[in-house]
Amino acid sequence: MEDIFQADAEEMGWQDRALCAQTDPEAFFPEKGGSTREAKRVCLTCDVRGECLEYALENDERFGIWGGLSERERRKLKKRAI
C-alpha cells in the first residue's frame, strides 16, 4: 500500500516544480471571456509543461490553463488524437 502512495507522490511531484505554483492562480482560471495571455506566457517557460498537459488530458480537466492550453484547445487536441 505504501508503494501506491509513493507512486502518487512521485507522479504529482511535477506540481511542486511548476511555475504556476509561484504565480497568481487567478491568471490560470480567468473568468469567461477573460485573457489567458499571462498564464500562457508563464507556461511557455515552464519545465513541467508536458507533465501538466498530460495530467489535464488524463484527468479531463475542464477549466483553466493547463500545459499552456485552454479548455477549448485541449478539447481540440483530444479530438484529433481519437
pLDDT digits (tens, 9 = 90+) for 36-59: 999 999 999 999 999 999 999 999
- High-pLDDT (> 90) share of the chain, %: 68
Q: Number of folded domains in the chain?
A: 1
| 20 is annotated as contributing to ligand binding | yes
| 56 is annotated as contributing to ligand binding | no
8 band by pLDDT with thresholds 50, 70 and 90: low
Which pLDDT belongs to residue 10?
55
In which domain, by residue range, is 27 found? 2-81
Retrieve residue 17's grid coordinates. Answer: 516544480
Retrieve residue 69's grid coordinates. Answer: 492550453
Fill in the DSSP letter of residue 66.
B
Asked if residue 74 lies in contact with residue 61, where contact means CB atoms within 8 angstroms, the answer is yes
3-state secondary structure of 45: coil
pTM: 0.81
Retrieve residue 20's grid coordinates. Answer: 504556476
